[in-house]
Structure 1
Amino acid sequence: MAWVDKKYTLYKSENFEEYMKALGVGFFLRKIGNNVSPTVFLVKKGDWYEFHTESTFKTTILKFKLGEEFEEETMDGRVVKTTMTLDGNTLNQVQKTDKKSTISREFSDTECKVICTYGDVVSTRWYKV
């Protein structure tokens, strides 16, 4: 896992507005979400992981053990039950909501590709080291 502890910054995004709209994110927060370039990174501490999302608007840290459900407060303030799993270099996040909600983060040494799915709405975002 050479990508653990590396910081990745957003440089490209597709369909993120529609994804946020499908989630029910309000107009103001959608505009902010589309205009910030967050930095993300994963930290491993024994059996625990921390996934950090940092931006000029807000910083969040998800603390979790792989395969164990936990309560997550999302960037827009929703509270959901979440489970994180690791498949090779892909960190998968499944959120229990009224529709299928997943976030898949595929890491390499130089890039992180994130696919966000809510129901039938899909957004792809790219981050680079």
Structure 2
Amino acid sequence: MSVFVSISPHTSLPLPEADDITNSRCKSSQSDHSRTAELTPPNSSATLSPLSAALPSHSNLHSFLLLSAAKMAEAFVGTWNLKNSEKFDDYMKELGVPFATRTVGNMTKPTTIISVEGDTVTVKTQSTIKNTEVNFKLEQEFDETTADGRSVKSLVRIQDGKLVHVQKWDGKETSLVREVNGNALTLVNTQAIVIMFVKFPN
């Protein structure tokens, strides 16, 4: 049965019954719920904001930073031949290298080959006496056995455009700083050794 409300002496409009109002509200609620379900991804307990969805995960960000650092190391890529060195014998004495080994070391003309593959840097040193190879990721500590037989903990990073290589062993520490200027690569360390390399085929 409908209820009529008088608006003017000559006009009256029907009002919906209480049951009709309740049914209408239920249908509206169900419709809103359906629209929400359509916008929510399946198997999702929460809706991410567009900004959150666009941000890389921690592991992806770490990988991106490693690759970016390795990209900067590409300035050092190449084959480098020894041109001259200063105070190398003093450096070996400081490290405790025996006289016979120092004599051979002073006569050696090593070639250094630096390459980058993904986030990994490889440094090879080749000579008529001994060949060495070390592979590492920038900003990550690694174990290294040096040409003179020391077992060290090493860490390499790019700093002010220079390749800084820090070695620690038995409470001691030394750093090897490589810098490229054109076709020349200079290697300097904390003991003031200066070694100059030139890029092959110069």
**TM-score, with normalisation over the residues of structure 2?**
0.59
- Equivalent residues of 1:89, 1:108 under 8 A apart: no
Do 1:48 and 1:63's aligned partners in 2 also have CA atoms closer than 8 Å? yes
Residue 122 in 1 paired to residue 192 in 2? yes
Q: Aligned match of 1:76 in 116, 137, 148?
A: 148
Structure 2 alignment gaps of length 5 or more: 1-71
Are 2:108 and 1:36 aligned? yes
Which of the two has greater strand per residue? 1
> Who is 1:111 aligned against?
184
Query: Which runs of 5 or more structure 1 residues have no equivalent in the other structure?
Result: none
Question: Is 1:87 equivalent to 2:151 in the alignment?
Answer: no
Quick check: 1:53 aligned with 2:125? Answer: yes
TM-score, normalization by structure 1: 0.90
Amino acid at match of 2:82: L
Which stretches of structure 1, 4 residues or more, deviate above 6 A after TM superposition?
none
CA distance in 1, matches of 2:160, 2:133: 22
Distance in 2, Cα, partners of 1:23 & 1:4: 26
State the structure with more CA Rg.
Answer: 2
Relative to total residues, which structure has the larger helix share, 1 or 2?
Answer: 2
- Using the aligned pairs only, state the percent identity: 35
What SS is found at the alignment partner of 2:129?
coil
Local SS of the residue matching 1:107: strand
- Which structure is richer in relative contact order (CA contacts within 8 A, separation 6 or more)? 1
Q: Are the aligned partners of 1:42 and 1:51 in contact in 2 as well (CA < 8 Å)? A: yes
For residues 33-74 of structure 1, give each alpha carbon's deviation from its aligned partner in whole angstroms, at most 9, with x where no partner exists: 111111112110101110111111111111000010000000
* CA RMSD, 1 decimal: 1.5
Q: In the alignment, is the contact (CA less than 8 A) between 1:82 and 1:93 conserved in 2?
A: yes
